[in-house]
Structure 1
Amino acid sequence: MKASIAVASLLALAFSGSAISAKAPSKSEGNEDSLSLQKNVLADGYFSNNHCETYIEQLVLPEQGILRSISRTFLADDNLIYITGGTTTVSGDFEKLFRTSNHMTNPALLEAKSKLNSNGYITGYSSTLYSKQKVKDAVAAREVLWGNYAKGSEQRKNINSYIYCKIAENVLGKGEDANVFKEYLAYSESRVKSADIGYFNVSADSAYYGKSVNTGNQFAEPKKWDGSRFFVIRASFKNLDTESRLPVEGSLFINYNGKDYEFDSVEPIMLEGYNIWFKKVNPLITMKTKIVYRIPNEIHGEVFWRPGRNPSDTKLWLGYIDAAKAD
C-alpha cells in the first residue's frame, strides 16, 4: 500500500512526499552554504512585515503575477512535507534560524507538526494550492522565469529570495497562506486507522491487494475470476466489554470516479486467521484476522473500511489503490 510522490526540487533542496503511513524520506542536513539564501532572507526581514514583494519590484508585471501564484504552491508543498516529518525543507531551515533570532515559529504550525510527524498521508491529497500536478506546473513555470534571465543574475536571485521569503512568512504565521496546514491537518485527522466501535477497539493494521490472497494453502485460496482481484485487511478487534462479544466484518468502501462503491461480501476462506466465522471474543482479548473482499480490476481510488455493528458509522482509512495493470 505504499506509493511515493516525487515533487521537484526548489533550488538545491529536494521536496519529496511521504508514502502512505510512512515518514517522509530523511536526507542529510544542508551545510552552511546551502543556508546562505535563508540567512539573507532572514537578515532582510521583509517576511516579518509582509514586504516580500520588495524582491520582485523590478520584474515585469506578468512575471510578478506568475511568481505570486507559483510561490503559493511551493509554500504549500514545503509546508506539507515539513509538518509530516520531512527533514530537509525550507520551513525547517527557518524554524531553526528563528531560534537564534527574535522571531518565533507559529505555535499552531509546531502543534500540527507534532501531531503529524511521521503519520501524514500525503499520497492522493490535493487542495486549492497543492496537488502533484500543481507542483509540476509550478516547477515548469519557475524554469521559464529563470530562463528569462542569465544564470547568477540579480533577477534570478530575487526570484529565489521571494519564494523563500513567502515560506519564512508562513513559518512566522503571517501572510494569506499562514493557515494552509490546517486544511491538511483536518484531512489527516479524518483518516483514522483505529477507533472504539461498539464493544471493540478496532484497528486496520495494514492492507494489501492483488490477484491472489496468498493464503499458502491451495485448497483454501479463493478462485480467481476474470476481471477481479482481492483486497485484504489485516484487522484487530479488542473486546472492551465485560463479557464475550461477536465482531462483524463490515464493508469496504472505494471512492472511484467520485462515487463510493460498497463491498460487503467477504470471501469464505475456511482457514484459521481469516474472517470471523461467528467467533466471539472474550473480554479484553484481541483477535487478529484477515478480512478478504473481492473487488473489480478497474476500480481505483481511496479506500475505507466500516466495521460491522457500528452505531457511529465510523470508517477506518486504508489508503489508496491503483487500477490493475493489464496482463
Structure 2
Amino acid sequence: MIFPEKTPHEIKADLEEALLRAQPYTQQGHLADYIPVLGKSDPSMLGISVTFLDGTTVSAGDTQVPFTMQSVSKIFSLIVALQDRSFDYVFSRVGMEPTGDPFNSIVKLETIKPHRPLNPMINAGAIAVSSLVSGSTADERFERILDLLRRMSGRPDIQLNQAVYQSELDTADRNRALAYFMRDSGIIEGDVEEILDLYVRHCAIELCSADLSRIAAILSNDGFDLFTGEQIVPLPIARIVKTFMVTCGMYNASGEYAISVGVPSKSGVSGGIMATVPHKMGIGVFGPSLDEKGNSIGGVKLLEELSARWNLSIF
C-alpha cells in the first residue's frame, strides 16, 4: 500500500473527512436531465473508492450505488480500437488535441479541415473511435468492450442498463448529427445508426465506484492486473489513454482540473469520475450533481481535497 504508515481505517477516515468537506457542493450543481433517466438521480449522493496496487480497496459514502459510465467508457472503446487498428490509422480519423468547446459541440468539427474530431474524449471523437472497433456484428463489437471492463473490474456480471440506453438513444439527436456529418466528411464509414448504437450502448454500461477504482488501478499499474499479473491493456496503449485523461478527460475544464487535482482522470455526465495515480492507486468517484462543464461538482471537490491531503498531483 502507498501509505505504509496508515492503516485502512485511517485511510477511510481521510476519505470520510474529504467527503464531508465536498458534500455541500452537491447542492450547487444540476443533473444531466437532457437524458431523462439520469434526471431522476438523487443529486445529494456522493461516494469514493480507492484501490491500491496491492488490491486493497477502501471506500466512503455512496459507493455501492450503480451508475452508467457515460463518457468514462470512451477510454475503453479507445483501448479496443487501438488494439484492433494501428496507432496511425486511429489517429488519422481522430486528433490528439484538447478543445476549449463543450463535449457535444459541432463547431470545430465543421470549421477545421480535415473535418476530424479534435480528440477521442469528446462525443464526436468517441463516435469516430466506436466505428473502428472490429467485429462481425454490432453485438460482437459491444461485447468486446464489455468483456474488457468485466476483466478489469473482476466483475463478470457488469451489464448494460437498458433503461438508460433507451433513454439516451431516444434523445441522441446531437450525437446523430455529429455522426452523419462525419460520414459525409469521410471520417467514419459504415452504418451510422449501428455506430451510434454501439456508442450509446457502451456509455450505458453500469457499475459502481468500487468497480471503477479497480479498473483505474489497472491503468495505474500500466495495464497489469493487480491479482493475476496479466497484461490486460498493452503498456503503450495504457500510456496513451492516461495522457488523454490528463489533456482532455475532464471536458473543457481539463486544464483547470490538471492544476487543482493533477492526476489523469475521465468524467461522465452520470456523475462518475475515474482517476489514476500512476504506480500508486486507482480512484472511482460518483456524484450525479454536475457543474456547468458536465463534471461531478462534488466529485471534483472531493478529488481536490484528497489530492491536497495525499499530495497526489503528478506535476
Higher relative helix content: 2
Q: Which of the five TM-score ranges fits, normalised by the shorter chain?
A: under 0.3
TM-score, normalised relative to structure 2: 0.22
Q: Relative contact order, CA 8 A, sep 6+: which one is greater?
A: 2
> Highest CA radius of gyration, 1 or 2?
1
State the TM-score, normalizing by the size of structure 1.
Answer: 0.22
